[in-house]
Amino acid sequence: MSSRICQIVKNFFIIFIILTTFFQNTYGLDTAKQKSFSSSDEQDNYLEFTFTKPELKHYRDKVEQFFTFALDNYLSKGYPYDEIRPLSCVPKTRNFGNLNDLVTNDVLGNFTITLLDSLTTIAVLGDRQRMKELVNLVLDTFDDFAIDSTVQVFETSIRIIGSLMSTHLYITDPRKRVYLGDEYDGESLLLLAKDIADRLLPAYMTKTGLPVSRINLLTRFKELTVEFLNENNAAGMASPMFEFTMLSYLTNDMKYERITRYAFDKIWDMRSPLDLIPMSFNPQDRRLYSTMTGVGASIDSFFEYALKGSILFDDDSLYEIWDTAYNALKVNCRGDWLYYNVDTHSGQLMTYWIDALSGFFPGLQTLSGDLEDAIPKHLLFMNLWDTFGGIPERWSFDISNIISASKTSSPYDQLPKYQKMEQGKESQETLRKRNIPLEWYPLRPEFIESTYFLYRATKDPFYLNIGVRIIKDLEERFMGPCGFSGIQNLYSGEKQDRMESFVLSETLKYLYLLFDEDNEIHSTRDNVIFSTEGHPLWLRPDIKRRYKMESYFNDTTWINHLQMCETEEIQYLERMNNEGSDAEKGFFQFAKRLLSVSTESSSSSSKEEEKGSRIINDDDQDKIVVSNILSSPSPQCTKYAIFKSDEPNTWLTYSNILSHYDQLFEISHRYEDTLIQPKILMENYYLPMALEPKFYNVWADPKYSQSRRQATTIAMDLIFMSMNGTYLPPIKFDGNSTIRCSTFQGRRKIRLEKIAPRLIDSYGDIVDTSAFQEVQRKDVYNTGCDTTAELYTPSSLYRAVKIDGVDIPKGYRLELPHDELFVEPRDENSSLGLNYENQMMLQCIPVINIYVK
């Protein structure tokens, strides 16, 4: 009997060893690192992925350890230079030998940027003693910023001015944990912010009032070439408004607000008739360099600061700009899973890639209250991390349009995607260039920032799980001897020997806040707004009152300059108006004249436009454009889970996104040709975050965790353009399952899907035959449809599923104004019609849920 028991015990240990080895191999965990990562789990006695308070504290403390490790290495091996190289453990400095190295020198001004940019993370951590030491170090290092360095105005504003002001607010506010009281003189950091702002301000001394991109902190424009000054982007010219306006509130000097707000407003005035802003042009003469727009690099912070500025400064005009701009983006740029880069005049697709910086936008949407669209847009970036182990600087979402125009294809193109990785260095390089044209990831914070905002809005543990994966990757894949290194090539795994200051200022700060439920930011009554560099800013009522009562603008140099800019603007618009253009849209007409772009050429098909696009109705006033696309609507509104228990096994609900978001895995299917995991990650069994076994087993509700069936219908976008009217958001949902549009002016986009029996529609349902019974197919305006209606039973119908980027719930009807949709006299060849039940007709086919009244 005893021998039998011994054999059972022996077999048990053998099975245990086999299973342990299997799980280690399956999930590719380094034993030592895994032990370090979970060492406190046993000590705190909690179940992983239950996200109780002890577990959240463990992750929070881990991030604090990361920050301390990186900052200590910078201070001991990098200070007083700008950065520390995390792999070689030596300082990274300006490129003093090559002033044209803008990638380096735009940011590294020889002003200890890592020290300055890190101060507010120490404030968020609540480390008063460390704050005191580093504030004293800053004041010992700088009397002013009289440094012979040419730097970028935008980057210097957000990283240095923003940090100095935020730190000043923290250490002078008795309610904050890092309040220094009498141990700080109350103004030194603010005076430093004012000093560097005064050194940047001459960049606005142009005849347009728009700033040039760079300036020398000591000599202004001495020895700067034309190439340094001729181009700037919309974000760079408009965004300093936020930090400079805050500086005006703190100093009572209105010149910072007036000068930068003039530039911000002028950028907005230079928008196209579609209310879209071009990304890049010459601030000296408005010459256009790019007609492209989107939500990523070169324009991102414009939208961010329109909304955030409206909140922080209680500014209705800024909110109106945000609201109008966001509506324009929804109509012209919004896709199911991403925001496209489009032409500002035609709205046509211009590139087949998006960039890493656009990862901030779901967080901004969350701040604006649009959770319905923020959730799917954030999921795209989660899929990028799942695939590449980071967010590529650029990712191509449609490689079929990037492949060489050659009519012949190599055998490599025919291989399944996972076999392609085995075809040698040349094939891997080809694949990489198709999927991620810019293949580096410098630990940018935008995806983590949006994760944080979505968690705060929903309290769904889905986002905590993302944070856990990022912590694990930081420890196992990004940590170097002296800091955290980005990855230069996500396919090869080659690392960057650089740690930019935003790693400490934003990446680790947002990750820390994700797990710190008790942080004072989360309970303060202050209207805290994070700058685009992650610096918390707020305005107390007494500061607002003082600014309202005591502010001044008495600098005659700048008063005269703004008057000159306004005079020049009037003269410019008069010139444009005399040339036959609309004075209110003068800039874009000017750009059209320079670039020889006409409405017709913008609307015609080209290599850069969406496939299948064609005009089906065209007259002097209105155009309707149909673009064939794949059908895949965004999800409907859902209620989000909130869990409250701190004890293991007593959570109150499941993850709502994991359990009820039935399109969770659609992205990986939709973009399978370009979401190809690098071999280095496949070998280590790098699992998708949502399928992390421990997380999934705890938070997925087995009753509802099902995926929506993939649509088999074909969809198209119906685009209405009327240049006689200004866009007004007309959509109103009523209680009778009806969406009413009181006006139809400006540019409108309606997505239709062509349904037929037994197809799967965009809602994931099988189309039944009920919609095809007793359909009225005779057209009030086109007798040519009558014959077709009498001879044939309808085999397909149209149904509207979106309007202006907003989902139309299944079963809803859309009502459009008759007089604005059917303009008299009508074009005899128009494909747009109306049946006798007032349903809209398209090419003699009814759109069953659009009614015209």
Residue numbers annotated as active site: 155, 300, 393, 446
Q: How far is the first Cα of the chain from the last one, in angstroms, to the nearest whole number?
A: 89
Name residues whose C-beta falls within 8 Å of residue 622's C-beta, 6 or more positions apart in sequence.
720, 721, 722, 823
Residue 368 parent element (H or E): helix 361-368
Q: Which of 154, 439, 438 is nearest to 298 (CA)?
A: 154
Decide if 454 contacts 463 (C-beta within 8 A): yes
For residues 747 and 738, give the distance between their C-alpha atoms in angstroms, rounded to a whole number. 21
| Type of residue numbered 777 | R
Q: How many residues does the chain have?
A: 853
For residues 323 and 368, give the distance between their C-alpha atoms in angstroms, rounded to a whole number. 9
For residues 290 and 287, give the distance between their C-alpha atoms in angstroms, rounded to a whole number. 9
Decide if 463 contacts 51 (C-beta within 8 A): no
Residue 622 parent element (H or E): strand 622-630
Decide if 432 contacts 473 (C-beta within 8 A): no
Decide if 753 contacts 631 (C-beta within 8 A): yes
Using a 10 angstrom Cβ sphere, with 0-12 exposed, 13-18 middle and 19 or more buried, the burial of residue 189 is buried
For residues 524 and 536, give the distance between their C-alpha atoms in angstroms, rounded to a whole number. 12
For residues 562 and 664, give the distance between their C-alpha atoms in angstroms, rounded to a whole number. 52
For residues 644 and 464, give the distance between their C-alpha atoms in angstroms, rounded to a whole number. 14
For residues 443 and 493, give the distance between their C-alpha atoms in angstroms, rounded to a whole number. 14
Structure tokens at 33: 């690192």
Contacts 24+ apart (CB under 8 A), 94-103: 94/149, 99/150, 102/152
Roughly what angle, to the nearest 10 degrees, separates helices 240-251 and 541-550?
Answer: 80
Alpha helices, H only, 719-810 = 784-791
Compute CA 676 distance to the chain's CA centroid, rounded to the nearest angstrom: 22
Decide if 638 contacts 660 (C-beta within 8 A): yes
Structure tokens at 842: 């398209």
Q: Which of 557, 555, 535 is nearest to 242 (CA)?
A: 535
Q: Cα separations (Å) of 644 from 375, 462, 639?
A: 22, 15, 16
Binding residues for Ca(2+): 532
Decide if 687 contacts 27 (C-beta within 8 A): yes
Q: Look up tokens 């959730």; give the residue.
A: 375
Paired sense of beta strands 622-630 and 614-618, if any:
antiparallel
Using a 10 angstrom Cβ sphere, with 0-12 exposed, 13-18 middle and 19 or more buried, the burial of residue 252 is middle
For residues 526 and 523, give the distance between their C-alpha atoms in angstroms, rounded to a whole number. 9
Rounded-to-10 torsion of CA 624, 629, 635, 636: 20
Q: Which of 576, 852, 529, 608 is nearest to 720 (CA)?
A: 852
Alpha helices, H only, 126-254 = 128-141, 153-156, 162-171, 188-200, 226-229, 234-238, 240-251
Using a 10 angstrom Cβ sphere, with 0-12 exposed, 13-18 middle and 19 or more buried, the burial of residue 399 is middle
Decide if 184 contacts 171 (C-beta within 8 A): yes
| Type of residue numbered 687 | L
